[in-house]
């Protein structure tokens, strides 16, 4: 390679683009818009459902989160203003002839949770947990500082994890009126994973000692007795729970690490198909289908962002068999950029996908649009 600095920089840039092209060309060749097994049922323009505050300036929106109720009748859509303005929580019925759409003014900092019939909505904002009780047409809140919202328990309650400086973690159960109903403390307890909103089973990881090198264990707890059903000598946790609480999966923000799914009380599921990153990942909580983004991430030194990231494809696949049901090039949202890619990342975030509880339906949302497809 020639020795002057300018020439070396040109060679580095050329080598980078050749390497990126070598990776992406086979993908571009093999990934077509293969959605022939999906049947579009409807699509909607969300602008006709969004109610803006009086006097609000004109702006467009992007979709920050998508959640489907277990009864497959409601979709919760986190709609954010591109100008950094208010968030709108749209609760959209699958059947508009049976129910009207509803809107709530919350700005969640984490995933919201719905009860199985969407009569209870729980949001975590800065400093508070906000609850909408649609059954009783009321709302309430729980003031928090170091708490984390874990999910719905037995359809009527929600679980919080409160961490303390003394390594004693407190797990609190509240009812739909935001009244504390139960609590349990565990030394060295970590965040909990609710296995199903209909059940009272919770996975709780525990670090028995603050000394480094000691193994994390996982407890399978049954609420309301707080009885330990089983203990596993390793950590089990995940972003999403599939197959009726039998499998937990972990997705990573734009990254080349593959999606990892693990049996509760068993080993890792074989990676029969490699989906890199997966984030944001959606699974059928009572089935084995998953939908996620297959990312490509490459370190790009001497740039503002530091990384070059790209969504190769969106994939709908079976986490047990590895069979790909559908794969396609994603539509990209106009206003929201990739997370975790460094300051100045040029990439736009794709439309979001959410599977229904059984996996029969796939919802896709981006910008100001929502669609529903049948998967089988």
| Residue boundaries of the structural domains of the chain | 31-66+238-376, 106-237
Q: State how far the Cα of 92 lies from the Cα of 297, in Å rounded to an integer.
A: 34
Tens digit of pLDDT for each residue in 294-330?
A: 988 776 666 545 556 778 899 999 999 999 999 999 8
Q: What is the pLDDT averaged over residues 153-157?
A: 95
- What tokens does 189 get? 């307890």
**Residue 181 confidence (pLDDT):** 97
**Residue 78 confidence (pLDDT):** 92
Percentage of the chain with pLDDT > 90?
52
Tens digit of pLDDT for each residue in 80-116?
A: 887 666 788 999 999 999 999 999 999 888 889 999 9
| Residue in 310, 226, 231, 269 with CA at minimum distance from that of residue 24 | 310
- What tokens does 150 get? 């874990």
**Residue 2 confidence (pLDDT):** 45
Q: State how far the Cα of 203 lies from the Cα of 219, in Å rounded to an integer.
A: 6
Q: Which helix (H) or strand (E) holds 122?
A: strand 120-125
| Residue in 63, 59, 9 with CA at minimum distance from that of residue 280 | 63
Tens digit of pLDDT for each residue in 117-129?
A: 999 999 999 999 9
Q: State how far the Cα of 156 lies from the Cα of 172, in Å rounded to an integer.
A: 14
Judge whether 78 and 87 are in contact, CB under 8 Å: yes
**Residue 18 confidence (pLDDT):** 35
Rg for the chain, CA atoms, rounded = 22
Residue 183 has pLDDT above 90, yes or no: yes
Q: What is the pLDDT averaged over residues 225-253?
A: 86
**Residue 23 confidence (pLDDT):** 41
Higher pLDDT, 270 or 176: 176
Summary mean pLDDT of the chain = 83
Do you know the residue count of the chain? 376
Q: What is the pLDDT averaged over residues 199-208?
A: 89
**Residue 126 confidence (pLDDT):** 92
Percentage of the chain with pLDDT > 70?
82
Q: What is the pTM of this model?
A: 0.84
Tens digit of pLDDT for each residue in 256-268?
A: 788 989 888 778 8
Q: What is the pLDDT averaged over residues 33-57?
A: 88
| Residue in 178, 187, 141, 143 with CA at minimum distance from that of residue 157 | 178
- What tokens does 18 get? 């050749």
DSSP, res 5: H
- What tokens does 327 get? 């794969």
DSSP states of 307-343 as a string?
A: EEEEEEEEEEEETTT--EEEEEPPPEEEEEE-TTS-T
DSSP, collapsed to helix, strand or coil, labels residue 184 as: strand
Residue 151 has pLDDT above 50, yes or no: yes
Residue 40 has pLDDT above 60, yes or no: yes
pLDDT band at 338 (very low <50, low <70, confident <90, very high): low
DSSP, collapsed to helix, strand or coil, labels residue 15 as: helix
Sign of CA dihedral 206, 210, 261, 370: positive
**Residue 303 confidence (pLDDT):** 53
User: Of the ranges 283-292, 300-309, 354-363, which one carries the lowest mean pLDDT score?
Assistant: 300-309
**Residue 83 confidence (pLDDT):** 67
Residue 30 has pLDDT above 80, yes or no: no
The reply to whether CATH 2.130.10.10 applies to domain 106-237 is: yes
Q: Residues 6 or more apart from 227 whose CB is under 8 A from it?
A: 221
- What tokens does 262 get? 């693990």
| Residue in 108, 84, 86, 92 with CA at minimum distance from that of residue 46 | 92
The pair phi, psi for residue 29, each rounded to 5°, is: -70, -40
Q: Residues 6 or more apart from 241 whose CB is under 8 A from it?
A: 193, 194, 195, 196, 247, 248, 249, 283, 285
């Amino acid at each position: 390679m020639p020795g002057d600095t300018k020439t070396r920089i040109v060679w580095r840039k050329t080598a980078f683009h050749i390497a990126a092209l070598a990776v992406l060309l086979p993908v571009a060749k093999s990934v077509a818009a293969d959605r022939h097994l999906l049947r579009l049922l409807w699509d909607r323009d969300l602008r006709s459902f969004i109610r803006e505050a009086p006097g609000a300036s004109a702006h467009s929106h992007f979709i920050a989160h998508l959640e489907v109720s277990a009864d497959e009748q409601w979709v919760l859509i986190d709609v954010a203003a591109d100008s950094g303005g208010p968030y709108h929580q749209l609760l959209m019925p699958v059947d508009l002839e049976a129910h009207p759409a509803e809107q709530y003014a919350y700005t969640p900092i984490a995933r919201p949770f719905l009860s199985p019939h969407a009569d209870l909505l729980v949001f975590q904002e800065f400093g508070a947990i906000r609850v909408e009780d649609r059954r009783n047409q009321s709302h309430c809140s729980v003031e928090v500082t170091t708490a984390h919202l874990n999910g719905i328990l037995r359809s009527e309650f929600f679980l919080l994890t409160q961490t303390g400086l003394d390594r004693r973690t407190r797990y609190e159960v509240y009812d739909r009126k935001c009244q504390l109903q139960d609590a349990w403390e565990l030394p060295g307890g970590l965040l909990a994973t609710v296995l199903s909103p209909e059940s009272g089973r919770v996975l709780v990881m525990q670090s028995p000692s603050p000394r480094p090198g000691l193994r994390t264990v996982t407890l399978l707890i049954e609420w309301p007795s707080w009885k330990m059903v089983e203990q596993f000598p390793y950590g089990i946790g995940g972003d999403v729970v599939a197959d009726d609480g039998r499998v937990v999966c972990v997705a990573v923000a734009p990254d080349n690490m593959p999606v990892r799914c693990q049996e509760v009380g068993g080993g890792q599921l074989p990676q029969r198909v490699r989906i890199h990153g997966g984030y944001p990942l959606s699974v059928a909580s009572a089935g084995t289908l998953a939908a996620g983004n297959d990312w490509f991430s490459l370190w790009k030194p001497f740039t503002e962002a530091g990384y070059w990231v790209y969504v190769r494809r969106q994939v709908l696949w079976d986490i047990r068999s590895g069979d790909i049901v559908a794969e396609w090039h994603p539509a990209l949202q106009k206003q929201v950029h990739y997370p975790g890619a460094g300051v100045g990342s040029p990439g736009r975030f794709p439309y979001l996908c959410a599977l229904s509880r059984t996996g029969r339906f796939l919802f896709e949302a981006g910008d100001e649009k929502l669609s529903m497809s049948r998967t089988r």
